[in-house]
Structure 1
Amino acid sequence: MKALARKMTERYHYSLVVLKELVKTDFKLRYQGSFLGIAWSVVKPLMLFGIMYMVFVRFLHFTDGTPQYPVVLLMGNCLWQFFSEATGTGLRSIVDRGDILRKIHFPNYIIVVSATCGALISLGINLVVIMLFAVVNGVHFTWRALLLPLNLIELYVFALGCALLLATMYVHFRDIQHIWEVVSQMVFYATPIIYPLSMVSHNYPVIGKLMLMSPIAQSFQDARHNLIDPQNVQIIWNQIGNPAICLIPYALSIAFLILGVYVFRKYSRKFAEIM
């Protein structure tokens, strides 16, 4: 076992060093020259949450019937910001780093992974804010909070798979960026972020169950359920009785990652020539 670990470390040592440096550089450059700097990782999601809270909670009275709904809304917003940032920066990562690819030899996938890791760091910072916000709003944490990392890993796996696919397509077709902006906006409204899933399930139970087939909606609901409100937040496991069907969104996350890795590896050898 030790020999295998040593062999894996030696094999991927160079890749890990490059990944670490790219993540550090990207994160520093992201807020370079701005007054608030890294604080924008927290301020931007909070500002968007404030707007959503005033419009959808105060004026339109969206709620799942629990006093913790503002925390549920904040968490959904932060998780969506992560997914949107990971796929958006991942999509442009290869083209934006084309100069490095032509000068330095290293596995191309590291560039996409570094872009998604930057979004993951921002999510980690936002999770601290969510935890503090939850404590202030009287959320009682249970043992299910220990399952939250599994939900985040699933979301990251799906986001990385999408980023690898999008980055590959963007090298060949620059129009994919505009198409993805429209698709991601559609996914945003098809995911229970600004409205509770119970609102859909009450009037259209079949549509509510179909929404949970999406790895994004399923991971969002699972994360909210495990951290904030295990009693009232609807998840796929308490909405669908068939365990085989419940495993579909998890399988889709893995399938997207496998597909993304396959497509990326197949076409990555010609990236430098095309760019």
Structure 2
Amino acid sequence: MGGQRAQVLDQRDNQTEARRAGADGPPAELIFKRRLRPAQVARELLGARELVRALAERDLRARYKQAVLGFAWAVLTPLALCAIFTLVFQRAVKIDTGGVAYPLFAYVGLIVWQFFSNTMNQGALSLANNLSLLNKVYCPREVFPLATMLVASVDMLIGIGVLGLLFLAFWTPPAITFFWVVPLLLIQLAFTYGVALVLSVAVVYLRDVRHLLPIITQMGVFATPVAYPLSQIPQRLQEVYVGVNPLGAVIEGYRRALLYGQAPDLALTGIAAASSVVFLVGGYLVFKKLETGIADVA
């Protein structure tokens, strides 16, 4: 009986000490809580703009260093794919382009896809390739995927110049509805950056992801309406499709605005816009949730 009573008293003493320790602990306002404030995030990214520029410039120089053709490589890949698609899809499959020259039709989609695939592939490795830098210098970690998107934007601008030459070659001026390019570009940027954020932190935690990227790129170019119109996808599935892959609505919108003189399909574009916002916000939240452990994993 005496031993049991002693055990009960010891338990009470331990509980009392635990309560006292909790009462003597740090106040609630000093406990670390990670809160994301959009205004603060915007200020940090704006303050790191010079770092983004420096990283993008470094990557551009490294990519084309000692390359004889230099920036010409930015257009050789889409032009080569455009030639292959023309031989296969125009002559074998007989894709209906609505009277537009097929090389022009396909190249509009290839510019968008090349921008996305370049950002996805390089952005996914942006943190893993800069671990020594981000462990020594404080900066918003999201600037590394952002810099890769800036590099891809330079390649896209070069590709747009080639698109202008194709307009001249086929005597097809851009339609007067070209102003729709602006909202479509915003959707494209939001979706692309959201995917790059998720992949960049996923590669740090799970290195196998980098081996999946070439497979995703090869499958994605055919799963996205680059070589064919969005109308090839059954109409009942188009809304779900652009929700999962907003690039489908973006590419179709570019073609309607630049080649056919039509406004983008507002319903599909609205779904793509909402989906891109979800990808961007969700990707950013996942990125900020996992970035605190990057140094430990690396």
TM-score bin, normalised by smaller chain: 0.7 to 0.9
Quote how far apart the aligned CAs of 1:183 are: 3.6
> Structure 1 pair 11/184, CA: closer, same or farther in 2 (3 Å)?
closer
**Structure 2 Cα separation of the partners of residues 262 and 197 of structure 1:** 31
In the alignment, residue 205 of structure 1 is paired with which amino acid? Q
Contact 2:109 2:251 in 1 (8 A): yes
Give the Cα separation in 1 of the matches to 2:96 and 2:45: 48
Would the aligned equivalents of 2:176 and 2:261 in 1 still touch at CA under 8 Å? Answer: no
Matches within 5 A, 1:219-238: 219-230=250-261, 235-237=264-266
Q: Is the 8 A contact 1:68 1:228 kept in 2?
A: no
Q: Deviations over 1:233-253 (max 9, x none)?
A: 9x533xxxxx4x652221010
Aligned match for 1:166, one of 199, 220, 237: 199
- Describe the superposition over 1:21-46 as per-residue Cα deviations: whole angstroms up to 9, x where unpaired: 11111111111121111111122211
Q: How does 1:91-240 map to 2 (within 5 A)?
A: 91-198=124-231, 200=232, 204-208=234-238, 210-213=240-243, 214-230=245-261, 235-237=264-266
The structure 2 residue matched to 1:32, chosen from 65, 75, 80, is 65
| TM-score normalised to structure 2 length | 0.79
Larger RCO of the pair (alpha carbons < 8 Å, separation 6+)? 1
Which residue of the other structure, out of 264, 280, 285, is the alignment partner of 1:262? 285
Question: Contact (CA 8 Å) 1:90, 1:167: kept in 2 or not?
Answer: yes
CA distance in 1, matches of 2:42, 2:109: 36
Q: Is the aligned partner of 1:42 residue 2:80?
A: no
Aligned-residue offset at 1:190: 2.2
CA deviation map 1:65-107 (0-9, x unaligned) = 3133321101111211111111111111100111211222211
1: CA distance, partners of 2:252 / 2:297: 41
Amino acid in the other structure paired with 2:294: F
CA, structure 1 residues 14+212, in 2 after alignment: closer, same or farther (shift >3 Å)?
closer
**Which whole-Å CA distance do the structure 2 matches of 1:143 and 1:65 have between them?**
17
Structure 2: how far apart are the matches of 1:12 and 1:186?
33
The 1-side partners of 2:204 and 2:258 are apart by: 39
Match of 1:22 among 37, 55, 59: 55
SS in 1 for 2:107: helix
The percent identity for this pair of structures is: 26
Bigger radius of gyration among the two:
2
- TM superposition score normalised by structure 1: 0.85
Question: In the superposition, relative to structure 1, how do residues 170 and 146 fare at CA in structure 2: closer, same or farther (>3 Å)?
Answer: same
Which portions of structure 1, spanning 4 or more consecutive aligned residues, are displaced by more than 6 angstroms?
Answer: 7-10
8 Å Cα contact 1:170/1:176 also seen in 2: yes
Asked if the contact 1:87/1:159 (under 8 Å) is kept, the reply is yes
Q: Distance in 2 between matches of 1:180 and 1:62?
A: 28
Residue 122 of structure 1: how far off its partner (Å)? 0.5
Query: Cα gap change, 1:144/1:138 in structure 2, threshold over 3 Å: closer, same or farther?
Result: same
Question: Which residue is equivalent to 1:3?
Answer: none
Unaligned stretches of 5+ in structure 2? Answer: 1-39
Question: Are the structure 2 counterparts of residues 205 and 173 from structure 1 closer, same or farther at C-alpha, using a change threshold of 3 Å?
Answer: same
In structure 1, list runs of 5 or more residues that go unmatched. Answer: 1-6, 238-242
Aligned pair count? Answer: 258
Q: Distance in 2 between matches of 1:66 and 1:209?
A: 26
Structure 2: which amino acid aligns with 1:236?
A: D
Q: CA RMSD in A?
A: 2.4
Matches within 5 A, 1:27-106: 27-106=60-139
Distance 1:95 1:70, change over 3 A: same
